[in-house]
Every structure is written in C-alpha cells, then in structure tokens.
Amino acid sequence: MNNLFIAMQAAAPQQGSSWSMIIMMVLIFVVMWLFMIRPQQKQQKELNKFRESLTKGQKIVTAGGIYGTVKEVKEHYVLMEVDNNCTIRVDKSAIMRDPSDK
C-alpha cells in the first residue's frame, strides 16, 4: 500500500508538468502571433491596397530604390517615368511606397 501511494505521488507531477508545457507552448505561439505575424499581415494588406489604388501622376518608389511617377497603370504592371522621355515598365509587386511616406 505504501509503495502504491509513493508511485501515485511520483506520477502526479509528470501529469502537471506536461500540461504546463502545453500551456507555455500555446502562450509562446499567441505572443508570436500578436507581435510578429499579425502586424506583418496588416502591413501586407496596406501595401496591396496601395498598389491597387495607384493612379496616373502619383509618385512612387520601387523595391530597388528607383523614384518615379506613374505614367500608366495596367493589371500586373505600371509604366513609370523616371526622367523626361524615359519610361520603364515595373511589376506592381516591386512598388513599395509613396516617397512622401517615411
């Protein structure tokens, strides 16, 4: 009887430690989601919204750091004027921001 009581006491902390480990893992995931994943998703949505709202004459900056003005907007790309009579075609996914945003 005494051995059974000792065995039950030894098994109880293992059960509790596994639950606390699961709770800790869930808490770590929640904190990562709140501080890393969620803000990144929000920023990506804003960037996609910006790319869809591009209009002729708007100033933009590409991912490569090229500054220019939108000359024409197509479905997947933008014609961008970088200098007088110098136009380049840039994929919409390469457009990062408005130069006035900091």
The size of the chain, in residues, is 102
Phi then psi dihedrals of residue 90, to 5 deg: -125, 135
Segment 14-33, tens digit of pLDDT? 556 888 889 999 999 999 98
Strands (E), the chain: 59-62, 67-73, 77-83, 86-91, 95-97
Predicted confidence (pLDDT) at residue 12 exceeds the cutoff of 60: no
For the four alpha carbons of 94, 98, 101 and 102, in that order, the dihedral sign comes to positive
pLDDT digits (tens, 9 = 90+) for 36-60: 989 999 999 999 999 999 999 999 9
State whether the Cα torsion 83-85-88-92 is positive or negative.
positive
Q: Which distant-in-sequence residues (6+ apart) come within 8 Å of 67 by Cβ? A: 59, 60, 61, 82, 99
